[in-house]
Structure 1
Amino acid sequence: MTADTDGVVPQLRELIALRATAQRRGPARHGRHGASGPAASQLRGRGMEYAESREYVAGDDVRHIDWRLTARSGRTHTKLFQAERERLSLIVADTSASLYFGTRVRFKSTQAARAGAVAVWNAIRDGDRVAAVRGSRLEPPVPPASGPRGALRVLDALVRWYAQAPADDQGLASALEAAGRLLRPGSRLIVLADPASVASLPQEVWTRLSAHHDVVVLLLFDVLEETPPEAALAFQSAQHRIELDLADSAQRARWQHVFAEPITQALAQLPGRGVRVQSLRADAPSDAWLPLLGRPQPQVA
């Protein structure tokens, strides 16, 4: 276990301390879509915000026609845009009950909070605004803000969300739906998720998101899920106890189907949907995934 926490519940002080870890990397990278930071976003889509509409003149881009105003006025209008001054980095937190588990160093939920903190401090270093959202009908998202103040708001939310499984969790699909209401073209999404949550979503969800945003998915898993011993294991929940004989080939195959296959499938399929994806073991360094941001974005087939 770490010096700051027993690994079961994330602590705000440890998430703040990760600032130094996250910001040790080099300058903001210039990828095929341009540089990140406090300038017009060049990641995906236009990276622009709507400013106003005016009447169409010859030479205007027909893709920017304001169809609603055109229909109301009877005259063709086009939309004008202004560059976004700061990119939005949005943390999408899966809070499904399966994350609140671990056998070495820390729970998957604690690693999710720590990886999210690394993402936040990395974004602040690059001049982004940061925000966070989870699947909830009751709790609103953490609104976008920049600087240390914005970072602390998100870190506080991660501590609360990953202290214990929220009773009102609506799933990753709900979290991504809520994320869609915050996003602007060129935003970056960092999705902290259990592999099973990712496997439950239609692949088209990722294609739609990556069409206009830089999408990063971190798959949180425990070493026991990856390489279980060939032995009988007993598990205890608040409601009941279950025993599994993983020396039995049928039960071991079922285990692999539930825990290993979602990771394998996500790593194989998501890059083809334009998504950067990496698995992150609960006992690994929480910044081990940062080199992922330096790789070129995958192209959508």
Structure 2
Amino acid sequence: MSAAGPVPAVVDAAGQGIVPTVAELVALRAEAQRTPQPRRGRHGVHGPAPSALRGRGMEYAESREYVAGDDVRRMDWRLTARSGRAHTKLFQAERERLTLLVADTAPALYFGTRVRFKSVQAARAGAVAVWTALQAGDRIAALRGGEPAIPPATGLRGAMRVLDALARWYARPPQDDAGLEVALEHAQRLLRPGAQLLVLADAASASRVPALRWTALARHHQATLVLLQDPLETSPPRGEFAFRAGLRRLQVALDRAAVRGRWHQAFVEPAQELSRTLPGLGWQVRCLSSDAASGDWLRPRDAGMAGSGQEATPLSADG
């Protein structure tokens, strides 16, 4: 397989682990249905939630005259000034939480040696999140760096729009990819307090995002980062192997300690560092291998250790 993207000679890559299909993303609905969902109250408010809701999670309803005991932090100062009488704002609970998927589309994701490309696993992990959000009654949206966001929508129609985008984004590296940091900046403008944020990314892309961005995104939202990995990256075999990167053919001596050290530094350490630092900034970090079940990132486990996969061997020694 090629690290630069799907091999042009492959006539039918769909369904072979190289290009995701909408059909396989739809089929993952069964994976989400096996995940316990929060119960609904009589008025449609979710509860108890699987984790604490970040922020107020309320939307403005109306204003009325202030009465003794009202929270002064909710004063409607504009109406108070206009009418000459003190008014306070009333809020109602948001009945539909927003689930936003942010897709990293860096070229490094369009690569794989076991079962499927990392890009296909990213699309599948996103699909599990979509079906889980649909089951919970959330509004669903998605974006990547380089094009307008898929706007929030509820129901099956909203889910299918996001699945279609995931299949399209992860079919091949987009020519207009603006990078993960740009996508996260866009996400910060779209999110409201109480939203759920899922970021699908390569560790190298995520490691280049400033800590301040991660902190700001997790401040009022439930934030999860899924790092896509391949067994060849986390546990390379010993020996000398040939790889193809674009038009170049590379020989990598993975039986030499110095080469393995640089390999570890390039592919394993970024994920380990993110798993170590981001939880302190309010993030859940999950490492998902390309040969794992696509819903594994949802299951509680010790996912903070990157690079713990089994020994992997390339499907083809020449890439």
Contact 1:104 1:223 in 2 (8 A): yes
Question: How far apart are residue 266 of structure 1 and its match?
Answer: 1.3
Cα separation, partners in 2 of 1:245 and 1:74, compared to 1, 3 Å = farther
Cα separation, partners in 2 of 1:272 and 1:42, compared to 1, 3 Å = closer
Question: How far apart are residue 25 of structure 1 and its match?
Answer: 2.2
Cα separation, partners in 2 of 1:53 and 1:202, compared to 1, 3 Å = farther
CA deviations over 1:88-135 (Å, ceiling 9, x no partner): 111111111110000011000000000000000011111111110111
* 2:109 is aligned with 1:99: yes
* 2:43 is aligned with 1:35: no
Measured in 1, the distance between the counterparts of 2:245 and 2:187 equals 32
Question: How far apart are residue 49 of structure 1 and its match?
Answer: 2.0
Equivalent position amino acid for 1:148 in 2:
L
Q: Which secondary structure does the structure 1 equivalent of 2:152 belong to? A: strand
For structure 2, the residue ranges without an aligned partner over 5 or more in a row are 1-12, 41-45, 304-319
Question: How far apart are residue 35 of structure 1 and its match?
Answer: 2.7
Q: Which of 242, 266, 269 is the aligned partner of 2:250?
A: 242
Q: Which residue number in structure 1 is paired with residue 19 of structure 2?
A: 9
Normalising by structure 1, we get a TM-score of 0.85
RMSD value, Cα: 2.8
Measured in 2, the distance between the counterparts of 1:58 and 1:221 equals 57
Q: Which residue number in structure 2 is paired with residue 183 of structure 1?
A: 191
Normalising by structure 2, we get a TM-score of 0.80
* 2:29 is aligned with 1:19: yes
Cα separation, partners in 2 of 1:78 and 1:133, compared to 1, 3 Å = farther
Q: Which residue number in structure 2 is paired with residue 45 of structure 1?
A: 55
Question: How far apart are residue 79 of structure 1 and its match?
Answer: 4.7
Question: How far apart are residue 202 of structure 1 and its match?
Answer: 1.7
Measured in 1, the distance between the counterparts of 2:178 and 2:18 equals 22
Q: Which secondary structure does the structure 2 equivalent of 1:192 belong to? A: strand
Cα separation, partners in 2 of 1:198 and 1:53, compared to 1, 3 Å = farther
Measured in 2, the distance between the counterparts of 1:43 and 1:220 equals 26
Measured in 1, the distance between the counterparts of 2:27 and 2:88 equals 48
* 2:130 is aligned with 1:123: no
Contact 2:37 2:135 in 1 (8 A): no
Measured in 2, the distance between the counterparts of 1:114 and 1:104 equals 15
Q: Which secondary structure does the structure 2 equivalent of 1:181 belong to? A: helix
* 2:285 is aligned with 1:277: yes
Measured in 2, the distance between the counterparts of 1:249 and 1:100 equals 27
Cα separation, partners in 2 of 1:58 and 1:201, compared to 1, 3 Å = farther
Q: Which residue number in structure 2 is paired with residue 211 of structure 1?
A: 219
Equivalent position amino acid for 2:217 in 1:
L
Q: Which of 160, 168, 171 is the aligned partner of 2:176?
A: 168
Measured in 1, the distance between the counterparts of 2:168 and 2:162 equals 10
Aligned residues: 284
Equivalent position amino acid for 1:43 in 2:
L
Contact 1:34 1:42 in 2 (8 A): no
* 2:294 is aligned with 1:286: yes
Measured in 1, the distance between the counterparts of 2:75 and 2:262 equals 53
Q: Which secondary structure does the structure 1 equivalent of 2:190 belong to? A: coil
Measured in 1, the distance between the counterparts of 2:295 and 2:172 equals 23
Q: Which residue number in structure 2 is paired with residue 233 of structure 1?
A: 241
For structure 1, the residue ranges without an aligned partner over 5 or more in a row are 296-301
Equivalent position amino acid for 1:202 in 2:
P
Question: How far apart are residue 50 of structure 1 and its match?
Answer: 3.3
Contact 2:138 2:154 in 1 (8 A): yes
Equivalent position amino acid for 2:274 in 1:
A
Contact 2:80 2:87 in 1 (8 A): no
Q: Which residue number in structure 2 is paired with residue 145 of structure 1?
A: 153
* 2:252 is aligned with 1:266: no
Equivalent position amino acid for 1:48 in 2:
M
Q: Which secondary structure does the structure 2 equivalent of 1:279 belong to? A: strand
Measured in 2, the distance between the counterparts of 1:260 and 1:196 equals 10
Contact 1:34 1:43 in 2 (8 A): no
Equivalent position amino acid for 1:35 in 2:
P
Contact 1:49 1:184 in 2 (8 A): no
